[in-house]
Amino acid sequence: MSHPPSLLQDLPEQVCVLVVGYGPVGAAIGCLLGRYGVRTLIIDKAPDILTQPRAIALDNEALRILQMVGLDEQAFERVAIPQVRMHSPYVGQFGQVNSAGAIDGHAKLVTFYQPALEAALRRLVDAQAMVQTACGVELLELVDDGGGVTARLRDASGVERRLRAGFVVGADGAASFVRRSIGQDFGGATYPEDWLIVDALDVPRPIDHIEFICDPRRPIPHMPAPGRRERWEFMLAPGETREQMESDARIGELLRPWGEPGQMKIERRAVYRFHARCCERFSRGRVFLAGDAAHITPPFVGQGLVAGLRDAANLCWKLAAVVQGRATPAILDSYDQERRPHARAMIGLAKLMGRMVMPRNALVAILTHGTVRLIRLLPPLRRLLDDLGIKPKNRFDKGLFARGGGRLPRGGQLPQGWVRDAQGRIRLSDDLLGDGPVLLGFGLHPHHQLDEQRCRAWTAAGGRMLQICHRSQSLHRGDDAAEDLTGALLPGAAPFGWLVVLRPDRVVLHDGPADEAARLVDESLVLLQGPAPAGLPQAHHTGSTQA
């Protein structure tokens, strides 16, 4: 009997980066590595996109990363959420988050349909010439020998083969095999409660906001989503079983306050247990962890996937710089330094929110919810809570950026705003930055501040230069200039005559006055190249590790 040809036959012998897991994080990594020109293979043991009800909310930071990945607003449907309300059966509405409006050009909070986002990401991956995908292929073994990683793969028919990769990214989800292969514990806790997630279509009285019904007897987060969809999450009481709760009859009873069973269509249902866990390190040698493989959070602040997208944005440009010989592998250490503290802080926020959503009993509910209500009587604290001032800022304490104080948030992202480009088109500023590092001149063109040698060195490092002009500036305006239409970048971010160096993930690497341009460029190049291996001078140490 002849067997169908194995998918493994078509795979290359070696790749620069092997991505294990083609969920949303693996797909985002594939898009970015493809954009940066890195030969990449993505494998997934599942034949297709998972359709279980999972992520539903994304914040402006995630949308900005998806913009960088290459998805425009039309790529997948979103519903902007103007407000999040917290209700208590004892003290009434005790909290709210004002999520109307935009930050950095994106809605502060949207809901979406995860399979649609994943499909959009996979379409982008398919368009990347440097990226190959193989679904139905499982990773069985990883051996990192210091010079590269050997992976043993198996397809659905049981055929096995080995493949060599310069680096491996484990984006293989919460039960990550890659994480176990590099001996990483997944410290933290699993919640003792189960939750039933129900997505329904055609709800008769749709809501436009997110509500948390924080009733200790049955906490229920409830939210609208694209496609006339709504989601409810019901915490199971002791003694209730998955089978009972997933039955049509039980779901009908649970949804009765929002409509009769015949009035809406149940689309998806699943029972989950939530976790709050994070690795001790996001990498070991040539192997990196991203997304749920590295950290997993209860979904009360909708940050699980968002954190995975932050990982992708942080890691991919660094991998590209190393495999393309522009940097030493030492720069990859900054991935763990920069990402892990923030991922942990977000898990902390989700746990805090969990205490409000599911208080243990009526007394705890009255105390917790009553305290939040009282705190909100004080205007500064009210603003802190309502405007999400308690959300951990994505600004690094340690990592790949210049030390010391500039005028811009070094180690944090430059704001994004609407600009008019040299052709007169109105665009979001990130879209003008490209995929490499950028030297921005506020009010002047950086090129004019540098000698030819430094301009060449900057270009050779994959860098480009751009002038940001203030509104209607015509004097001293160069060809490669963008006019800041709303003042998001100027004058708030930096004074006229200031330079800023951005990493490809829009994080401020360095900044300083224009008359110190040469020093700024020299120091930035050293940072981007990474420390030289012992015994080699800084400028000559890089060498391609292209597999």
Ligand X SMILES: Cc1cc2nc3c(=O)[nH]c(=O)nc-3n(C[C@H](O)[C@H](O)[C@H](O)COP(=O)(O)OP(=O)(O)OC[C@H]3O[C@@H](n4cnc5c(N)ncnc54)[C@H](O)[C@@H]3O)c2cc1C
Residue 409's nearest CA partner among 152, 104, 141, 190 is 104
308 binds ligand X (CB under 6 A): yes
Contact call for residue 56 and ligand X (CB under 6 A) = yes
Backbone angles phi, psi at 404, to 5 degrees: 90, 170
Nearer to ligand X, 90 or 191 (CB): 191
Options 8, 18, 35, 45; binder of ligand X; rule CB under 6 A = 45
The stretch among 23-31, 76-84, 239-247, 375-383 that binds ligand X (CB under 6 A) is: 23-31
Let me know the angle formed at the C-alpha of 253 by 248 and 254, rounded to the nearest 5 degrees.
Answer: 100
Residue type for position 387: D
Examine residue 221 and tell whether it contacts ligand X (CB under 6 A).
no
Strand partners, 438: 464, 502
Report helix angle 379-386 to 362-375, nearest 10: 110
Of 4-12, 54-62, 87-95, 357-365, the window that binds ligand X (rule: CB under 6 A) is: 54-62
Would the CA dihedral through 410, 416, 420, 425 be positive or negative?
positive
For ligand X, the closer CB: 125 or 438: 125
Q: Does 216 bind ligand X (CB under 6 A)?
A: no
Q: Given candidates 24, 409, 437, 462, which one binds ligand X under the rule CB under 6 A?
A: 24
Sole binder of ligand X in the list 76, 94, 113, 177 (CB under 6 A) = 177
Q: Which of 65, 151, 171, 319 binds ligand X (CB under 6 A)?
A: 171
Look up residue 9 and give its amino acid: Q
Residue-by-residue DSSP string for 482-537 = EEESSSTTTTTTS-TTEEEEE-TTSBEEEEEEGGGHHHHHHHHHHHHH-PPPTTS-
Per-position x/- string for 259-298, each x denoting binding to ligand X as judged by CB under 6 A, each - no binding: -------------x------------------xx------
Pairwise CA distance, residues 390 & 384, whole Å: 6
User: How far is residue 478's CA from residue 100's CA, in Å, rounded to a whole number?
Assistant: 37
Q: How far apart are CA 21 and CA 249, in angstroms?
A: 36
The least CB distance from residue 307 to ligand X, in Å, is 7
Q: Are 150 and 140 in contact (CB under 8 A)?
A: no
Q: Which two tokens stand for residue 8?
A: 């493994």
Near ligand X by CB under 6 A: residue from 17, 26, 79, 430: 26
**Minimum distance of ligand X from residue 44's CB (angstroms):** 4
Nearer Cβ to ligand X (172/230): 172
Nearer to ligand X, 173 or 462 (CB): 173
Q: Does 211 bind ligand X (CB under 6 A)?
A: no
When the beta carbons of 272 and 401 are compared against ligand X, the nearer one is 272
CB closer to ligand X out of 107 and 499: 107
Q: Please, which residue, 224 or 302, has the CB nearer to ligand X?
A: 302
Least Å from the CB of residue 171 to ligand X? 5
Q: Please, which residue, 215 or 292, has the CB nearer to ligand X?
A: 292
Nearest 5°: the CA angle 58, 61, 62 is 45
**Scanning residues 127 to 156, which ones bind ligand X (CB under 6 A)?**
138-139
Residue 111 three-state SS: strand
Is there a contact between 339 and 314 (Cβ–Cβ < 8 Å)?
yes
**Which amino acid is it at 481?**
A
Q: State yes or no: residue 306 binds ligand X (CB under 6 A).
A: yes
Residue 299 lies near ligand X (rule: CB under 6 A)? yes
- Give the binding site for ligand X (CB under 6 A): 20-26, 43-46, 50, 54-57, 138-139, 171-173, 177, 197, 272, 291-292, 299, 302-306, 308
